[in-house]
Amino acid sequence: MTDVRIVHRFDCDETTFWDRVFFDKEFNRNMYLNHLQFENWQITEQVETETTISRTVAVTPKVGDLPGAVKSLIGENLSYREIGTFDKRTRHYQLTVVSSVLSDKLSVQGDTWVEPLSAHQCDRIFEAHVNVKMFGIGSIVEKRLIADLQLSYNAGAVFTAEYLKQQGLSRA
């Protein structure tokens, strides 16, 4: 199992991050489809209750160059479902990724939360646990998944910061 912690600072308050960024459908479509150039990003189910927001997102990421052994297992058509729940009390979004391939051998779980730094600034923290049960190449696949997560989150953070400025939501 490989773990990763990714932290990005944004010039907005916590409520703005959750309401106007994380759960904003248009923001997410623009970020995933246009900026990150994913082939698909679509909310297939979303249910809000008094205490939670649960959603399932169908995702087809852009697949770059993969090591030969990994490519032969995964193929060209990798997609996944992100199944997540936001707890309104704890303000944590916990997710599980269900891959279209090797779902019995691949486990990705994550937790996203925001730590306010001031009235106008916060850190978005994402921690993920990646486990690939494949003899001989499990650690290679885990490292690649972690590297892809870091690249996507870093690129997404740049997009988010610019979006906050363009929308007049940045308080810095």
Q: Closest Cα to residue 94, out of 118, 119, 113, 107?
A: 113
Give phi and psi for 11, each to the nearest 5: -90, 65
What's the pLDDT band for 139 if we cut at 50, 70, 90? confident
Query: 2-166 — its CATH code?
Result: 3.90.380.10
Main-chain dihedrals φ then ψ at residue 41, nearest 5 degrees:
-150, 110
List the one residue out of 117, 119, 164, 145 whose CA is nearest residue 22: 164
What pLDDT band is residue 75 in, cutting at 50, 70 and 90?
low
Instruction: Kindly report the number of other CB atoms within 10 A of residue 81's CB atom.
Output: 18
Average pLDDT score over residue span 79-94: 97
Per-residue pLDDT for 69 more than 70?
A: no
Q: What is the pLDDT of residues 9-40, one digit of tens each?
A: 999 999 999 999 999 999 999 999 999 999 99
Identify the H or E element spanning 131: strand 121-132
Q: The pTM is what? A: 0.90
CA 134 → CA 44, 48, 97, 112, distances in Å?
A: 30, 37, 17, 27
Mean pLDDT score of the chain: 90
* pLDDT for position 61: 86
Kindly indicate the confidence band of residue 66, based on its pLDDT and cuts at 50, 70 and 90: low
pLDDT of residue 78: 79
Q: Are 30 and 49 in contact (CB under 8 A)?
A: no
Confidence band for 50, pLDDT divided at 50, 70 and 90: very high
Q: Is the pLDDT of residue 70 over 90?
A: no
CA distances from 172 to 9, 157, 166 (A): 12, 16, 13
Closest by Cα among 6, 8, 13 to 121:
13
- Say which residues have a Cβ less than 8 Å from residue 52's Cβ, sequence separation at least 6: 85, 86, 87, 88
- The band of 56, judged by pLDDT with boundaries at 50, 70 and 90, is very high
Residue pLDDT, tens place only, 91-128: 999 999 999 887 888 899 999 999 999 999 999 999 99
Domain boundaries, the chain: 2-166
Angle CA(141)–CA(147)–CA(148) in degrees, nearest 5? 90
Asked whether residue 163 carries a pLDDT value surpassing 90, the answer given is yes
Rounded Cα distance between 145 and 16, Å, is 29
